[in-house]
Amino acid sequence: MSVIRLKGQADRRLRAGHQWIYSNEVNTDATPLKQFSAGDQVVVETAQGKPLGVATINPNTLICGRLVSRSIDTVLNKSTLIHRLKIALSLREMVYPESYYRLVFGDSDGLSGLVVDRFDDILVVQISTAGMERLKQEIIEALQDVVKPSAILMKNDGKMRNIEGLDTYVEEVFGHVPEVVYLKENDVLFQAPVWDGQKTGWFYDHRENRKTMQGFCSGKRVLDVFSYVGGWGVQAASAGATDVTFIDASESALEHVDANLALNQYEGDASLMHGDAFDAMQSLIDDKQRFDVVVMDPPAFIARRKDIKAGEGAYHRANQLAMRLVAKGGVLVSGSCSMHLETSRLHDIVRSNSRQLERFSQLIYRGTQAPDHPVHPAIPETEYLKALFYRVHNNMGL
């Protein structure tokens, strides 16, 4: 294989366990990146010429290399894919009794640029890097060998593909994948729109946080903001909530909410509010509505580091509106999937809102991503999800 040589000291992060190589860490005088094609596999060397392993390369991106092995004798091929898929599968089978989970979570499973969600015998796959795209057929064959699915959908329409210079497409590559697939989470049934929905059609990452939320919902009024297909609110309904309101900007997503309530034979009151979440919450405030449990789980307001200031402003506004809708002694669930928003900063935002609104808030639970989204201890980028639960009361003079 060809070689890329790093600059002095640029190997320190890799030696500590990280798997990414940035373009400014490569000695381009010794090994010009322009000589490589996107998706090539190369041997990575220190500045002194000592081999560190094998990486896939994309010369056109800031993250130009992704380590796939720490041995120069091991490349990423079908055999390696099968081996790592078996390891990934063993973790999920150890944790979950039924086959509804994220089977592959990129770097955390040694498969940077690959995500696979499992809906029983149907797999939805997302490839986000040129290195993985080069191995598309091998990935399909490895999944067939390890999981033996009835169908596989390639949902390759994510923003990362544009950065990598890859085309976007959604393609049925094996078997037949229906417009919606079915899953079970915390003993609650759902249909997920895998062809037209967000990401893979479902978000398994909040599974444990939703389970915790269920414990607060029996006999309560619940508000699910940015509800998508009802992951939080439908589980609240199944846990005994008497009244659940869903807010989402997507009319089709709310149609799936309705279907998911019916799947679980919900007989309580349900309200579907189609429109901008901020406007909808203000409308509920104007109508003097209050809820025992308010779930605020927005999309990533901070997609890139340069978005931090504007994104934190959006989180502040969203949580302030949500807190105004919490009934006395109720629970606010404040979620974030923005990797660039630290948990402590989200807590600061809620604390600031508490003071401004003269509320007495108590942090009662800190949640993170489910075990099928494992955190790689050397790659902080793999730890992204937060769910902070607060009991909110009147100021109490404090």
- pLDDT category, 396, cuts 50, 70, 90? confident
Q: What is the mean pLDDT of residues 354-378?
A: 97
Question: Checking phi first, is residue 43 left (phi over 0); if not, alpha (psi -120 to 50) or beta?
Answer: beta
Q: HEC states along 314-361?
A: HHHHHHHHHHHCEEEEEEEEEEECCCCCCHHHHHHHHHHHHHHCCEEE
Statement to judge: residues 20 and 140 lie in one domain: no
Cβ neighbourhood burial of 179 (10 Å; 0-12, 13-18, 19+):
exposed
- Does residue 42 carry a pLDDT above 80? yes
Statement to judge: residues 169 and 194 lie in one domain: no
Q: What is the mean pLDDT of residues 125-142?
A: 98
Whether residue 217 lies in the annotated active site: no
Statement to judge: residues 86 and 118 lie in one domain: yes
What are the DSSP E strand ranges found in the chain?
3-5, 20-22, 40-45, 51-57, 63-69, 100-105, 114-119, 122-127, 151-156, 169-174, 181-185, 188-192, 221-225, 243-248, 269-274, 291-296, 326-336, 359-367, 386-394
Give the number of domains in the chain.
3
Structure tokens given for 396 = 């109490």
- pLDDT category, 99, cuts 50, 70, 90? very high
Instruction: Single out the residue in 114, 142, 177 at which a domain terminates.
Output: 177
pLDDT recorded at residue 25: 97
Q: Distance (Å, rounded) from C-alpha 155 to C-alpha 148?
A: 19
Statement to judge: residues 203 and 63 lie in one domain: no
Q: Supply the CATH number for residue 102's domain.
A: 3.30.750.80
User: What SS3 class is residue 256?
Assistant: helix
Q: Supply the CATH number for residue 223's domain.
A: 3.40.50.150
Q: Distance (Å, rounded) from C-alpha 3 to C-alpha 269?
A: 63
Statement to judge: residues 159 and 186 lie in one domain: no
Instruction: Single out the residue in 177, 196, 227 at which a domain terminates.
Output: 177
Q: Considering the entire predicted model, what is its pTM?
A: 0.95
pLDDT tens by residue, 305-322: 899 999 999 999 999 999
The answer to whether residues 59 and 15 touch, using CB atoms and an 8 Å cutoff, is: no
Statement to judge: residues 57 and 95 lie in one domain: no
Domain of residue 162, residue span: 78-177
Statement to judge: residues 83 and 57 lie in one domain: no
- Does residue 186 carry a pLDDT above 90? yes
Statement to judge: residues 318 and 201 lie in one domain: yes
Q: Tokens 């592959």 label which residue?
A: 104
Return the number of other C-beta atoms located less than 10 Å from residue 352's C-beta.
13
Instruction: Single out the residue in 25, 44, 69 at which a domain terminates.
Output: 69
pLDDT tens by residue, 103-118: 999 999 999 999 999 9
pLDDT recorded at residue 304: 86
pLDDT tens by residue, 224-263: 999 999 999 999 999 999 999 999 999 999 999 999 999 9
User: What SS3 class is residue 268?
Assistant: coil
Statement to judge: residues 98 and 191 lie in one domain: no
Set 21, 68, 337, 341: catalytic member: 337
CA-wise closest residue to 59 among 99, 90, 19, 32: 32
Statement to judge: residues 268 and 374 lie in one domain: yes
- Determine the distance from the C-alpha atom of residue 127 to the mean position of all C-alpha atoms in its chain, rounded to a whole number: 14
pLDDT tens by residue, 196-221: 999 999 999 999 999 999 999 999 99
The answer to whether residues 174 and 151 touch, using CB atoms and an 8 Å cutoff, is: yes
pLDDT recorded at residue 395: 78
